[in-house]
A and B are shown apart, each in its own frame.
Chain A
Amino acid sequence: MSSPILRLAGLHKSFGALVATDNVTLDLSPGECHALIGPNGAGKTTLIHQISGVLKPDAGRIFFAEQDVTDAAPHERAQLGMARSFQITSIIPGFTVLENVALAAQARSGSSFRFFGRAKAETALNDAAIQALTIVGLEARRDTVAGSLSHGEKRSLELAIALAMAPKALILDEPMAGMGREESARLITTLRELKSRVPILLVEHDMEAVFALADRVSVLVYGRVIASGAPEEIRADPEVRSAYLGEDAA
């Protein structure tokens, strides 16, 4: 098995007395979808913020693409090929759908300290954007102003933005949240096709999605990984059932 693209080693993070990340060690390997589940407030988003560089861990190291990125800024990690989505949709609302994604493609294609020439007319960027929009099924909405999309469409747009970055890994924070059944079914299909090309770290509450996609599942409770393994093992684990799945299984 090839070496992991992302590795967390002994991460700690507390907010005052609250320990949000407690000695978390986990990794993400090429070709896999690693799901991170856990009850509300377990510290999943806090962990993702540390991975992407929005928050600094109090202790521990983060390795991405063979480099120690613990002290790197978010934009430096993104340049290394780390693409993330946000639990609360994060797009450029005043831009068109196409321009949102073209901006992501622009980040991957040469310098953006170019002061002349119309960015909107750069065919290479627009083509890359349309390709990503086609994958998530949003190409028909390319000229819509992003702020006026439906909630589900905005979630899809965020995935297209991440894809247009031609990432080495996708870090997704509850991509299905607030989506209708049909939309999330479609997203599951998309992600299943994607994961062989781009490894995915997936935070998700939708258990149907988790068990449909994940090759490995880690369970986070009170900031600590209480179990990690194949989906069937996790489903069968009594500790997990009582701590988390219990409410589902009952």
Chain B
Amino acid sequence: MKDALEQATSGGGKVSRDWGAIAPAVLVFALLALGPLAAEAYGGAYLTSLLMRMMLLAIAAISLDLLIGQGGMVSFGHAAFIGLGAYVAGIMITEGAADLAMILPMAIVASTVFAVVTGAISLRTSGVYFIMITLAFGQMLFFTASSLSAYGGDDGLTLWERSTVFGFDLLSSNVTLYYLILVTLIGAYALVGALVGSRFGRVLRAAKENPTRVEALGFSVFSYRLTAYVIAGVMAGVAGVLMANQAEFVSPSTLAWQRSGELIIMVVLGGMGLRNGALLGAVALVALEETLSSITHDWRLIFGPLLVLTVLYAKTGLAGVADAWVARLWRRA
């Protein structure tokens, strides 16, 4: 309220700066909203499903950046939460409990429990140890999924139907599912944006820079980090539920360590800790993979050096570059 007043009285300057901060994301969301229309004209179902996958990975990457960019916690096991959500959805649909009203709460509970237990242990360590231990927990879940012989084991689990929503069969239409995912993505983006600016986010960000100081102020750094870990885990879990519905298939590869690595690359490529970083990183990475892999089978040979160059020459990532462009446009306007 006070904030709004401040903005209103300080003239257009502050308001336009706030808009400038989210302008790149708004542009991406607007383009994504046109996705199904574009698919009708060109690309068909293939394009829709590619964009849905892109958005779901973006949700997971945005949640991971809350840990890496804001909290300084480099988790190498974030895909485990996507997998957890996906398997909860897959198993419940297979068992006939297909409604989102049941699946979502269950996935949230499962992600919370997994995050509390593994987070409480992992957060006793830091640096490289934290990276390794989160990787280890991720692998534990990966092997657990592979051994679920009743649910496809290594081969994965094909779903014969999608979730219903309060009894209504809405998601069998790709278009409805598409917009549900887009709305979830916008929600995830807005949520993390709010968190970062909140009291909670301020403590988290301060603890990334100087945990000893933050403890000496009276904050239990561990509790704030664990809370962030749970929030990020739940967000990725929700993305997993939607991913299972989108692919109509769940397999251990959903939570392979390569997927966790890919999420880290998205965060770094996009710009760690920047408002639009993870979003742009996810969009760019999926688009790039898609383009390069259609050109050549050995696309990783091009992709690797490209990534190194980005990290070397655009240290603040794609979002840093985007912010600079926006600032230049605004000055000219």
Q: List residues of chain A with CB under 8 Å of any chain B CB.
A: 52, 54, 73-76, 78-79, 83-84, 86, 90-95, 99, 103-104, 106-108, 111-123, 161, 165
Residues in B whose Cβ lies below 8 Å from that of A113: 199-200, 227
Known: A116-B194, A118-B197, A120-B197. A107 touches B209 (CB 8 A): no
Residues in B whose Cβ lies below 8 Å from that of A84: 216
Residues in A whose Cβ lies below 8 Å from that of B2: 121, 123
Residues in A whose Cβ lies below 8 Å from that of B203: 103, 106, 112
The smallest beta-carbon distance between A160 and chain B, in angstroms, is: 12
Cα(A103)–Cα(B199), bound, Å: 8
The smallest beta-carbon distance between B193 and chain A, in angstroms, is: 10
Residues in A whose Cβ lies below 8 Å from that of B195: 115
Residues in A whose Cβ lies below 8 Å from that of B221: 75
Establish whether residues A115 and B220, one from each chain, have CB atoms under 8 Å apart when the complex forms. Answer: no
Q: Choose one: A83, A90, A116, A121; the contact of B212 (CB below 8 Å).
A: A90
The smallest beta-carbon distance between B32 and chain A, in angstroms, is: 25
Which of B202, B205, B206, B216 counts the most A-chain CB atoms under 10 A from its CB? Answer: B216
Q: Choose one: B200, B205, B216, B219; the contact of A114 (CB below 8 Å).
A: B200
- The yes or no answer to B6 lying at the interface (CB within 8 A) is yes
Establish whether residues A92 and B200, one from each chain, have CB atoms under 8 Å apart when the complex forms. Answer: no
Establish whether residues A78 and B216, one from each chain, have CB atoms under 8 Å apart when the complex forms. Answer: yes
- The yes or no answer to B95 lying at the interface (CB within 8 A) is no
The smallest beta-carbon distance between A99 and chain B, in angstroms, is: 7
Q: Choose one: A54, A118, A161; the contact of B198 (CB below 8 Å).
A: A118
- The yes or no answer to B17 lying at the interface (CB within 8 A) is no
Establish whether residues B216 and A103, one from each chain, have CB atoms under 8 Å apart when the complex forms. Answer: no
Please name 16 pairs of A and B residues whose Cβ atoms are closer than 8 Å in the assembled complex, sorted by A.
A54-B212, A74-B215, A75-B215, A75-B218, A78-B216, A86-B216, A92-B209, A93-B210, A95-B209, A113-B200, A114-B199, A114-B200, A118-B3, A118-B197, A119-B199, A161-B213
Cα(A52)–Cα(B216), bound, Å: 8
Cα(A44)–Cα(B95), bound, Å: 66
Residues in A whose Cβ lies below 8 Å from that of B219: 75, 107, 112
Residues in B whose Cβ lies below 8 Å from that of A73: 215, 220
Residues in A whose Cβ lies below 8 Å from that of B224: 112
Contact with A along B181-208 (1 / 0, CB 8 A): 0000000000000110111111101100
The smallest beta-carbon distance between A217 and chain B, in angstroms, is: 25
Cα(A161)–Cα(B206), bound, Å: 13
Establish whether residues A78 and B199, one from each chain, have CB atoms under 8 Å apart when the complex forms. Answer: no
Establish whether residues B216 and A90, one from each chain, have CB atoms under 8 Å apart when the complex forms. Answer: yes
- The yes or no answer to B30 lying at the interface (CB within 8 A) is no
B residues 192-250 touching A (CB-CB < 8 Å)? 194-195, 197-203, 205-206, 209-210, 212-221, 224, 227
The smallest beta-carbon distance between A125 and chain B, in angstroms, is: 9
The smallest beta-carbon distance between B194 and chain A, in angstroms, is: 5
Which of B3, B194, B213, B219 counts the most A-chain CB atoms under 10 A from its CB? Answer: B213
Cα(A178)–Cα(B10), bound, Å: 40
Establish whether residues B210 and A78, one from each chain, have CB atoms under 8 Å apart when the complex forms. Answer: no
Establish whether residues A90 and B198, one from each chain, have CB atoms under 8 Å apart when the complex forms. Answer: no
Which of B194, B202, B224 counts the most A-chain CB atoms under 10 A from its CB? Answer: B202
Establish whether residues B218 and A91, one from each chain, have CB atoms under 8 Å apart when the complex forms. Answer: no
Residues in B whose Cβ lies below 8 Å from that of A161: 213, 217
Residues in A whose Cβ lies below 8 Å from that of B199: 106, 111-114, 117, 119, 122
Known: A106-B202, A119-B199. A79 touches B218 (CB 8 A): yes
Residues in B whose Cβ lies below 8 Å from that of A114: 198-200
Establish whether residues A90 and B206, one from each chain, have CB atoms under 8 Å apart when the complex forms. Answer: no
Residues in A whose Cβ lies below 8 Å from that of B194: 115-116
Residues in B whose Cβ lies below 8 Å from that of A118: 3, 197-198
The smallest beta-carbon distance between A140 and chain B, in angstroms, is: 20
Q: Choose one: A95, A99, A103, A117; the contact of B217 (CB below 8 Å).
A: A103
* Sample of 13 further A-B pairs with CB below 8 A, known A75-B218, A92-B210, A117-B199: A54-B212, A79-B218, A93-B209, A93-B210, A95-B205, A104-B217, A108-B218, A112-B200, A115-B200, A115-B201, A116-B198, A121-B6, A161-B213
Cα(A114)–Cα(B199), bound, Å: 6
Which of A94, A99, A111, A115 counts the most B-chain CB atoms under 10 A from its CB? Answer: A115
Establish whether residues A78 and B197, one from each chain, have CB atoms under 8 Å apart when the complex forms. Answer: no
Residues in A whose Cβ lies below 8 Å from that of B215: 73-75, 78
